[in-house]
């Protein structure tokens, strides 16, 4: 069996990649994609600790995270559609209406 | 080398490679295809850990349903012509991200995790099956969060329909 620490390290690596993606990319859709990466990293960590602790509560929480990810994708992409209709642009650097 | 080990290294290296693709591909369609690859590899890791229900749900919900949302939106929003990544941000975030990764890896490898174990030992799970074990937890202890999750999905669906509707943008222009 692979020790569970390796899974947790992999989860950390995916989390950092998602974080870098959210910071670095300028397209809103790509930022949402990086968020999905971070959610997946959390899922891996949950299931890995389940394996270690001989429990299944973490898998129940992964189920809830899947639900929330579906809701987040639906609402976020709806917002992106609305932003695109208003401004014909999805670059985050030009979204400065709230700036003083 | 055990088959379990081979599966872990294959799936995890492919998952990390495709995750790098998600972050750095210029064309957003390629990024979404890399995301599908990452999700399928993560699902393989779940199967490798013995979480069959979550692995199957990962493919059904993530790799199919959520990715279809993304593809639909990308087909209506044209690709922007600007830079893919902000170079200044990248110069800052790559070293900082590397430091965070080192920290997380150190904690994961040497952290003093508490080791009180639950009741679902491998023998119990082998007897009743992973799906039954997860379902028994989901429908007893976590029944109320389960119902709340269904309400959240309903609210998100209605909200997405209202936000994405065409005429409310036209109303403001009129």
- What value of ipTM does the predicted structure carry? 0.90
Q: For B113-151, how does the pLDDT look when each residue is reduced to its tens digit (9 = 90+)? A: 666 677 777 777 778 888 888 898 899 999 999 999 999
- A83 has a chain B CB within 8 A of its CB: no
* A30 falls within a domain: yes
Tokens of B20: 């790098």
Q: How far is CA B104 from CA A12, B130, B134, B164, B167, in A?
A: 6, 29, 28, 39, 47
pLDDT at B174 over 60: no
pLDDT band at residue B42 under the 50/70/90 scheme: very high
* A100 falls within a domain: no
* A29 falls within a domain: yes
Residue B114, pLDDT score: 65
* A23 falls within a domain: yes
Residue B1, pLDDT score: 67
Tell me which chain A residues have a C-beta less than 8 angstroms from the C-beta of B20: 17
Q: How many CB pairs under 8 A join A and B?
A: 243
* A69 falls within a domain: yes
Q: For B65-115, how does the pLDDT look when each residue is reduced to its tens digit (9 = 90+)? A: 899 989 988 888 877 666 667 788 888 889 999 999 999 888 888 877 666
Query: CATH number of the domain that A49 lies in?
Result: 1.10.287.3510
Whole domain around residue A25: which residue ranges? 4-94
Residue of B nearest to A64 (CA): B149
pLDDT tens digits in sequence order for chain A, 100 residues long: 788 889 999 999 999 999 999 999 888 888 999 999 999 999 999 999 888 888 888 899 999 999 999 999 999 988 888 888 888 777 787 888 787 7
Query: What are chain B's domains?
Result: 1-79 (1.20.120.1200)
Contacts of B57 (CB under 8 A, 6+ apart): A63, A66
Query: What's the total number of domains in chain A?
Result: 1
Residue of A nearest to B72 (CA): A77
Contacts of B49 (CB under 8 A, 6+ apart): A7, A47, A48, A50, A51
* A99 falls within a domain: no
Q: Is A60 exposed, middle or buried (0-12, 13-18, 19+ CB in 10 A)?
A: buried
């Amino acid at each position: 069996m692979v020790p569970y620490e390796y899974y947790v390290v992999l989860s950390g690596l995916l989390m950092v990649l998602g974080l870098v993606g959210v910071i670095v990319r300028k397209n809103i859709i790509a930022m949402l994609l990086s968020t999905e990466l971070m959610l997946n990293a959390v899922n891996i960590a949950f299931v890995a600790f389940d394996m270690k602790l001989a429990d299944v509560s973490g898998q129940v929480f992964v189920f809830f995270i899947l639900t929330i990810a579906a809701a987040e994708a639906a609402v976020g992409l709806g917002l992106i559609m609305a932003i695109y209709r208003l401004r014909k642009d999805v670059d985050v650097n030009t979204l400065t209406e709230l700036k003083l | 080398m055990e088959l379990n080990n081979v599966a872990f290294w294959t799936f995890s290296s492919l998952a990390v490679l495709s995750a790098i693709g998600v972050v750095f591909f210029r064309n957003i369609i390629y990024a979404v295809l890399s995301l599908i690859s990452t999700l399928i590899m993560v699902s393989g890791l779940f199967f490798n850990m013995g979480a069959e229900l979550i692995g199957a749900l990962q493919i059904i919900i993530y790799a199919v349903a959520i990715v279809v949302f993304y593809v639909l939106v990308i087909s209506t929003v044209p690709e922007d012509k600007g830079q893919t990544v902000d170079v200044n941000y990248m110069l800052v975030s790559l070293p900082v991200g590397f430091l965070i990764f080192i920290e997380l890896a150190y904690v994961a490898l040497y952290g003093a995790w508490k080791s009180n174990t639950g009741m679902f030992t491998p023998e119990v799970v082998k007897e009743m099956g992973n799906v039954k074990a997860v379902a028994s937890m989901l429908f007893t202890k976590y029944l109320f969060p389960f119902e709340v999750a269904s309400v959240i999905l309903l609210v998100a669906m209605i909200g997405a329909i209202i936000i994405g509707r065409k005429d409310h943008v036209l109303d403001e222009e009129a």
